[in-house]
Structure 1
């Protein structure tokens, strides 16, 4: 048997933290670490496999021979197997060969803590280091100025495998190529943040990355870990925040993955009613097991620590919160109080958020949560889950449902638009138009719009204008910013050729200017999560399908007035109430010719009149362009 030297990176305190579910930097201990022991270079391996009978490391350095390099189990009942193997070097491929006590089952598993993985469809882990010379110190010191809840937060959601591909061979771009093309594009269009759909290693492309195996490894499809760090570095250098999709909700049962890891239900809940997800045919973490909690929270902190992520968007939170999620009667068991809430999950999410916010300054966590579960984005100190923001799925559903209707019928559905304001400030909401809305037969966003081609694009401009003026932060999936006409296909590039057509190029110009408007009008972000930042002027003119409201910031002189016309009828001499005297100046109009509109606008300064209207002492008449959003300032 080849030499395995007894060695440990764990202290007794580490083990106590691990067992109690409080060790949140396990990535410094478990996994494969390139070190020197007594002047000899090699790799220290450590893996958690408490029901294993034996664990050996197999790899290209021992011709994948079982038993050649056997690890030792620790004496402290932690279930950790460890050992130092001399002369193993960076780039070596390996797996853990695990013989279980449960019936002698032998499996080969990838390292749950591997920093790098072979390029799929290969499944081995790769010995790798995380050394990198970061150049984003200025960003890291000041990112609260870009990442705070009272700052503009406009997110460009990206699937790296299909944003753009090489024409020849339909090949992926690399992280280094994205560091040029993607960074420049986001900077040009003015988004404040990019959100990457999961970049952690995943085996199956059609999962879009939401079925993870390598939780600590950026996918090797596009390059190595340092090259992904370089991409993040370049984004920070352009003052663009980085949000990573994080998936603690479930994982696939691939043979080399976390499922049945050591011959037992190690990571997944042993009760299939809690440990199996019927929608995705995947396994669900055991959130009540201390060591699993340490694994997951360590993983969250890892991406904030080593990859300088600015936010984590947590996927499928609703599926985690409810014991009966996608389950029929008899397929789930109530909690100890007879309810449907998963108490272990609630406790875990609170601890996760507390760990994130207490360990890193200027970061955010964002929940994709589609139910009315209370206090998702409220502090744990008052009983909340502790997230910084929550996706506003109700707004997304109601708004798209409204916009799909022919304009002649919209007067009967005004409530679909105005209802969001009844609960808008119950959470810190982000308004998403995400990848889920442009797949599986839902059509692209522009293709959902009614009318002829001009009306479709006018409706799209209206939708985006309304979205950016509505309280809350914003998220837009790639391709939507130039009106991609077909559904998203993860196997090919976006249709960039469409930008040569005026209608599509006009949408891109519109989004660019909306981002600029959002960032440069404090009233649109300073109080975006507070009822003090919004005031209706008129929401009851359903007959004309018009709404008008005020967005308010700290300085009343910087307030903006927003008027939306949801039909193609030009409305002349349309009167609205105004809060004070002055001159009204139109600062933005989605119907501008520059964007592909008809050019109807209020081009001159309009004098506010002392004519009572809409319950106010002052009012003004204006012209409303067809299918448009007009934005005004009072001077």
Structure 2
């Protein structure tokens, strides 16, 4: 017997917006919503399935019987099936049983708009709500200031399932437990933001979360939706911003997921040349379909609205932008202008960014984009894609390639480091040392460093100090902050025991101090995206593998003089040009003994001489510690 009551919460305007691709609050309409109808408590269900012959809600409340609770299709050709089922409560387990009108095949699908899911490997959706009393009003009020592009932005990238685990059984920490350990750790190390690798529900652990099924549901591996809200709330209360990885680039073809949802290519592009990703063996959204655009943009805004996310890092943007990405000749079709750009994607990304920035003040979107596609982080009104920042993948690859070279050969490769400054201000770049760089045989960041143990750690300190002195915001993957020795393994905790050893303690200490320096020195952040915030002193001393530069803030007195020595040779009386008179005051030295260094250092304050050098009227002679970055202020 069908006990579904005909009911709708859609207005005609909702339907018009949905069909036009302009409904950005779809999660308020589609999905499962607890409500009272005529004094009876129950759940209103709505699902988009235009090629379905019939749709039923099946679950633990009706013994998973197909026709017990059949939904009604709307009359307006929207393809939405809906209805109210009384006496269903929060926590009910359900799916949609869909019979296709194309081939008659019956499938069971999880709800694309479910707020909560069963814990994998179970695959059903769970009736849930989003009620939570937030206590982060102070953070939200000040977020525009904290998240601005001219403020410090130092990101700790992490995978929740392998940051730390219970020692006794290797089980996950919950969101609630992370709210204790993680918040304290981020405060201690000084990062301004944390970035969670995808926490939306995913079925397969080895995907690290990048193959999503429940786009509106935080993974139940670590708790329920309110538990995640609690974690973010606690981070905000301690002044730490939260960035979520978001994956609109592809999705898996799991039987319960979005693929072939109603027997048709509903969410994915019907042309396999555009709708299938050869690298990840997954499906690609149809960015030209209005209803799909509504789904994706609604999803982005959902995490900003209900989970107070402060930013979205958009995964694999390059794979979305190019029709020939990872495809051989004959496996792709040019656009209408004969080019390789995916025009639907470009339009979608612009609209996504416009919707985010229009609706949420103080947030940032960050593109993981590895090509030279122009104006990724430029406003849409001047032709850009509209992202706030873009990962500087070129810097990452060139820098890591340089650092793995034996120091004796570095004088032949200095251009690999200096090249980044030829394009550093074409985008708002974030410098990433991400999870992708510590897997699949690439070794850990520490493991890439050449030399004996002392030199390996000195090189790592040098790398991190150079990264923090280079223009742009920063991102470091978990474990890097204490010199994880082995590659990242998603199945176990980081090797926290390493912090018992002095060299690893030194790495953690230098990261903490670099975060403090970054936040306290305006020259390192006020003009981190503009060319007037950087000036070379000397980039051409290849023979000694040394270069020097000035970082500039809004006020001249905040300028920093930075010198980098990429060899283990101590250089006495090394002269650099200085733009004005005064004293040079030391504020940072990566070779300090507290970090595990040799302790070679200059006087805390040195008189600048009226002797021209490096094309400047003044100069100073320094001692350059081995494998070091040293920084000074002119006072």
Superposition TM-score tier, normalisation by shorter sequence = over 0.9
Distance of 1:488 and 1:603 partners within structure 2: 40
SS at match of 1:369: coil
Distance of 1:292 and 1:432 partners within structure 2: 31
1:498 aligns with 2:498: yes
What does the per-residue CA deviation read over 1:413-461, in whole Å, with 9 as the maximum and x for residues that have no partner? 0000000000000000000000000000000000100000000000000
Q: 1:406: Cα distance to partner? A: 0.3
Corresponding position of 1:462: 462
Corresponding position of 2:141: 141
Corresponding position of 1:16: 16
Distance of 1:605 and 1:296 partners within structure 2: 56
SS at match of 1:606: strand
Q: 1:486: Cα distance to partner? A: 0.2
1:596 aligns with 2:596: yes
What does the per-residue CA deviation read over 1:503-544, in whole Å, with 9 as the maximum and x for residues that have no partner? 000000000000000000000000000001000000000000
Corresponding position of 2:374: 374
What does the per-residue CA deviation read over 1:272-300, in whole Å, with 9 as the maximum and x for residues that have no partner? 00000000000000000000000000000
Distance of 2:444 and 2:3 partners within structure 1: 59
Distance of 2:604 and 2:359 partners within structure 1: 52
Corresponding position of 2:303: 303
Corresponding position of 2:277: 277
Corresponding position of 1:212: 212
What does the per-residue CA deviation read over 1:226-280, in whole Å, with 9 as the maximum and x for residues that have no partner? 0000000000001000000000000000000000000000000000000000000
SS at match of 1:170: coil
Q: How does 1:522-537 map to 2 (within 5 A)?
A: 522-537=522-537
Q: How does 1:143-542 map to 2 (within 5 A)?
A: 143-542=143-542
SS at match of 1:135: coil
SS at match of 2:516: helix
Distance of 2:367 and 2:587 partners within structure 1: 34
SS at match of 2:187: helix
Q: 1:556: Cα distance to partner? A: 0.4
CA RMSD across the alignment: 0.4
Q: Which moved more, 1:389-398 or 1:601-610?
A: 601-610
Q: 1:565: Cα distance to partner? A: 0.1
Q: 1:324: Cα distance to partner? A: 0.1
SS at match of 2:287: coil
Q: 1:597: Cα distance to partner? A: 0.2
Distance of 1:301 and 1:90 partners within structure 2: 24
1:632 aligns with 2:622: no
Distance of 2:604 and 2:388 partners within structure 1: 41
Distance of 1:64 and 1:122 partners within structure 2: 15
Corresponding position of 1:103: 103
SS at match of 1:584: strand
| Runs of 4+ off more than 6 Å | none
Distance of 2:417 and 2:450 partners within structure 1: 17
What does the per-residue CA deviation read over 1:455-480, in whole Å, with 9 as the maximum and x for residues that have no partner? 00000000000000000000000000
Corresponding position of 2:581: 581
For normalisation by structure 1, the TM-score amounts to: 1.00
Q: 1:183: Cα distance to partner? A: 0.5
What does the per-residue CA deviation read over 1:133-155, in whole Å, with 9 as the maximum and x for residues that have no partner? 00001110101121000000000
Corresponding position of 2:48: 48
SS at match of 2:42: strand
Q: 1:77: Cα distance to partner? A: 0.2
Q: 1:605: Cα distance to partner? A: 1.0
For normalisation by structure 2, the TM-score amounts to: 1.00
Distance of 1:67 and 1:321 partners within structure 2: 43
Distance of 2:129 and 2:603 partners within structure 1: 60
Distance of 1:255 and 1:551 partners within structure 2: 54
Corresponding position of 2:2: 2
Distance of 1:605 and 1:130 partners within structure 2: 57
What does the per-residue CA deviation read over 1:49-101, in whole Å, with 9 as the maximum and x for residues that have no partner? 00000000000010111110000000000000000000000000000000000
Distance of 2:308 and 2:498 partners within structure 1: 34
Corresponding position of 1:90: 90
Distance of 1:313 and 1:77 partners within structure 2: 35
Corresponding position of 1:613: 613
Distance of 2:587 and 2:612 partners within structure 1: 24
Q: How does 1:32-43 map to 2 (within 5 A)?
A: 32-43=32-43
Distance of 1:58 and 1:603 partners within structure 2: 75
Q: 1:603: Cα distance to partner? A: 2.8
Distance of 2:31 and 2:634 partners within structure 1: 60
Structure 1 unmatched runs, 5+: none
Distance of 2:201 and 2:30 partners within structure 1: 18
Q: Which moved more, 1:401-410 or 1:603-612?
A: 603-612
Distance of 1:239 and 1:30 partners within structure 2: 34
Distance of 1:188 and 1:562 partners within structure 2: 26
Q: 1:604: Cα distance to partner? A: 3.0
